[in-house]
């Protein structure tokens, strides 16, 4: 672990030294103390940067009457000086953008011949799995 942030009572965001991000959820509905203490991985993503700090906040001023102002965001910083934003999107918006991302991957070829899906796959010494429940804002933009 290189950084961790509490998103809500049951959801946590983490970064680790293989340049990955992940989200875990506590099973507060579990029948036993052991089940309630176990964390379930709900999102995995290869960022390609060593994150060393998470902070709740935004890079822009939030207007109280704007829908965008209601989306919770976490800012991250990396050892290379990268500043990024992670946003928790409403389900309908996430589904739409996930379909858009999937279709963009079919059309846009990766720089240097890299496969985008392989690049964003969560990788460490124990496993390699496809990214899940994260969107690549750079690709969508």
Inter-residue contact 60 to 75 (CB < 8 Å) = no
pLDDT tens-digit profile of 2-38?
Answer: 999 999 989 999 999 999 999 999 988 878 888 888 8
- Domain extents for the chain? 3-140
Model pTM score: 0.87
Cα distances (Å, whole numbers) of residue 24 to 38, 43, 52, 65, 86: 10, 7, 18, 31, 15
Distance CA 6, CA 56 (A): 9
Q: For the chain, give the mean pLDDT.
A: 91
pLDDT tens-digit profile of 107-128?
Answer: 988 778 889 999 999 999 999 9
């Amino acid at each position: 672990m290189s950084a961790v942030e509490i998103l809500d009572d049951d959801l946590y965001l983490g970064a680790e030294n293989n340049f990955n991000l992940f989200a875990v959820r506590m099973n507060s509905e579990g029948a036993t103390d052991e089940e309630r203490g176990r964390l379930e991985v709900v999102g995995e993503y290869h960022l390609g940067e060593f994150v060393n700090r998470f902070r709740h906040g935004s890079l822009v001023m939030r207007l109280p009457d704007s829908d965008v102002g209601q989306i919770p965001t976490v800012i991250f910083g990396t050892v290379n000086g990268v500043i990024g934003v992670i946003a928790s999107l409403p389900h309908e918006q996430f589904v739409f953008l996930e379909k858009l991302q999937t279709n963009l991957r079919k059309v846009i070829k990766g720089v240097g011949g890299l496969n985008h899906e392989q690049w964003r796959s969560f990788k460490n010494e124990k496993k390699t799995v496809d990214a899940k429940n994260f969107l690549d804002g750079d690709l969508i933009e």
